[in-house]
Amino acid sequence: MLRESTIQIIKSTVPVLELHGTEITKRFYHLLFTNHPQLLNVFNHANQKQGRQPEALANAIYAAALHIDKLESILPVVKQIAHKHRSLGIQAEQYPIVGNTLLTAIKDVLGDAATEPILAAWAEAYGVIADVFISVEAEMYDEAERQQGGWKGFRMFRVDRKQKESEVITSFYLVPVDGGAIADFEPGQYVSVKPEIPGETYTHIRQYSLSDAPGKPYYRISVKREDALDGRPEGKVSSYLHRHTEEGDILWLTAPAGDFVLNRTDRRPVVLISGGVGLTPMVSMLNTLAETAPDRQVIFIHAALNGEVHAMREHVTGLAQKHAQLSVHFCYQQPTDGDRLLQAFDKEGYIDLPYLKSVVPNKDASFYFCGPVPFMRSINHALKEWGVPAADVHYEFFGPAGSLDEPAVASGK
């Protein structure tokens, strides 16, 4: 437990963190990778360059400071981060390194304003918060290893099948090299994938949603090739998987993780909304519902640029033909002439509230959505405007967690 004096000091720093949080975390990562370059084997380098990781850490630190007197209120966020840490292989002995580096970054950015009492309070608070993470993650590591078909760390999988789904998305069917059973998972979860890329100084680990229902003898991931765009470099892992990984090749995987999962006990209608490659966890949920709850009403809504990049369209429409309780709807931002000829979409443009109301019978349902951050902000804004209770709204960020409370910006990419 934290002392009351420590709690008061931490809470007094909230305005400072709101103003300088991202500057502190940028300094933190610079120091961390300069002094401990081995940690570059764990972090997504692209997220560092794009600023998403420092922003996510700044938000987490701000939330911890804001709720330091009732840390139990941020336990859901702790568990969400802990799932990612377990999937990446973060170890307890790395937490002191992070803590010391964070204190140094705070001192470097705030200068004389970072007094000894403030630094001491943050050291004490970090120790308590780190202990919570270490405890939660220890349970997750143990559960991942003990479950039937589970394992510890990374396990070798072979690419059993490689299937092109669209011009930018390819699926990989993965089976364990040792021939043993594989761990079950909940629809919506992901695995960490570590390819061995020739010529790379550091390893690169990426987390990809499982895109099929559980209970299969394989895991399927469906990967979007991230091309260079607007100054953003191409994705190292996605490009390597698309261009160089073939059937028979080896990838290393950690056991499934993640807290963005389908609630299978809820019998109300379920609305699955996706943008671009955000459809991967949605298809896992859709396949699971089709197999295990065919009588449950499902509304599947997908936004894409056009039919050329729309993955798994035939699979989804095929399910709709078999299941009367499933309705599917597609929204294309820039449809091709072929899309228009085939009447391949319901709406041209973006998903907005009037469109949602036209295809979703009523708001008494469970809503799940995933896609690019601007897309998710737009969907979240629409659901709030409709009055959908927060408890019925579920979403997943691909990469570091962000905020959906910023002004809505529509996107269907």
Q: Which residues are catalytic?
A: 95, 137
Partners of residue 220 on adjacent β-strands = 173
Q: Is 281 annotated as a binding residue?
A: yes
| Chain centroid offset of residue 192 CA | 11
Sign of the alpha-carbon dihedral angle for 130, 135, 139, 142: positive
**CB of 268 within 8 A of CB of 175?**
no
Instruction: Give the ranges where 67-115 is alpha helix by DSSP (H).
Output: 75-88, 95-110
Rounded to whole angstroms, what are the CA distances from 102 to 21, 70, 109, 199? Answer: 11, 22, 11, 32
DSSP letters of 156-198?
EEEEEEEEE-SSSEEEEEEEETT--------TT-EEEEE---T
Cα torsion for 287, 290, 296, 297, to the nearest 10°? 70
CA distance 382 to 177: 45
Rounded to whole angstroms, what are the CA distances from 16 to 13, 73, 157? Answer: 5, 22, 47
Rounded to whole angstroms, what are the CA distances from 128 to 72, 131, 135, 269? Answer: 12, 5, 11, 41
User: Each residue of 92-122: b (16+ CB within 10 Å) or e?
Assistant: eebbeebbebbbbbbbebbeeebeeebbebb
Q: Is 400 annotated as a binding residue?
A: yes
Q: Is 222 annotated as a binding residue?
A: no
Q: Give the single-character DSSP code of 234.
A: P
Q: Is 206 annotated as a binding residue?
A: yes
Q: What does the radius of gyration of the chain's CA atoms come to, in whole angstroms?
A: 22
Q: Give the single-character DSSP code of 254.
A: P
Q: Is 276 annotated as a binding residue?
A: yes
Task: Give 215: exposed, middle or buried? Use CB within 10 Å, 0-12, 13-18, 19+.
Answer: exposed
Q: Is 399 annotated as a binding residue?
A: yes
Q: Is 209 annotated as a binding residue?
A: yes
Q: Is 208 annotated as a binding residue?
A: yes
Q: Is 6 annotated as a binding residue?
A: no
Q: Is 279 annotated as a binding residue?
A: yes
Of the candidates 190, 74, 194, which has an alpha carbon nearest to the alpha carbon of residue 128? 74
Q: Is 330 annotated as a binding residue?
A: no
Task: Show binding-site residues.
Answer: 85, 190, 206-209, 276-281, 397-400
Task: Show binding-site residues for heme b.
Answer: 85
Task: Show binding-site residues for NADP(+).
Answer: 276-281
Task: Show binding-site residues for FAD.
Answer: 190, 206-209, 397-400
